Structure 1
């Protein structure tokens, strides 16, 4: 499965996977961040083999380099801006890359949590909604999991790039 250039088209292929994407979208900002961390903590070994071969980490130096030099509070603000789709430098950098690279960003951040990346508070307990969502995703087969992850990763961040209109929409044929 390749990443979609049209961010308005969900990669979640079935009603079941789309329901999981919807459940993620119903979480609050910090719950979404906790979800990303927990998914990679529990399932990172199955997610990451699908990403490195298809990802291009050099396309996101701001997110996979400069980000690690920031304070915990700055990192948390950037993560919140990304999941809230705010128009900021980091959110634009995230929104400019394809889903496989976006998954790589979350993976790198999850791996570095507690060291180079702000960690969850020690007393943090995930909500029932987060635990249920992670549990439901764990039950999916690999292709369904990846479609959910790509959809979620692709729906956050900011971009003002619009998909190219189709011939059906414009009534014009492409010229060579």
Structure 2
């Protein structure tokens, strides 16, 4: 649910985002990382549960690329899996650090990379 206290343009953007497919949401996160990755830095060491994120990231890293993609899809879909339960217990900042680590892993293909031929739907565009 979108808060009525937000700017109407932001409300509309959040509503549109919530209606996207899970894969389109993942692509948009990747797009944000590639456009802002150089200006984003992880929190100060220890400030965002770095050890917890490292453990969760290592669980994902050990999976096949298809399984890694499924983990990311499950997180967005809110499916009840072990990794989803661990993720849901994280603070918001720690969740951001986790996604940042996943994006870095995608960049070096440790984590399933974004398909080069993926086409966003018109709402995601």
What is the TM-score when the length of structure 1 is the normalising length?
A: 0.60
Q: Secondary structure at the match of 2:118?
A: coil
Does 1:69 find its partner at 2:73? Answer: no
- Superposed CA RMSD: 2.2
Does 1:129 find its partner at 2:99? Answer: no
Does 1:31 find its partner at 2:16? Answer: no
1:89 maps to which of 82, 87, 102: 82
- Runs of 4+ deviating beyond 4 Å: none
- 8 Å Cα contact 1:62/1:90 also seen in 2: no
1:52 maps to which of 35, 40, 43: 43
The CA deviation at 1:122 is: 2.2
Cα distance in 1 between the residues matched to 2:52 and 2:123: 34
Unaligned runs of 5+ in 1: 1-7, 132-176
The CA deviation at 1:124 is: 1.8
Unaligned runs of 5+ in 2: none
If you compute each CA radius of gyration, which structure gives the higher value, 1 or 2?
1
The CA deviation at 1:121 is: 1.6
Does 1:116 find its partner at 2:107? Answer: no
Q: Secondary structure at the match of 1:21?
A: helix
Larger RCO: 1 or 2 (CA < 8 Å, sep 6+): 1
What is the TM-score when the length of structure 2 is the normalising length?
A: 0.82
1:100 maps to which of 71, 93, 103: 93
Cα distance in 1 between the residues matched to 2:77 and 2:90: 17
The CA deviation at 1:75 is: 0.5
How many residues are matched? 121
The CA deviation at 1:19 is: 2.3
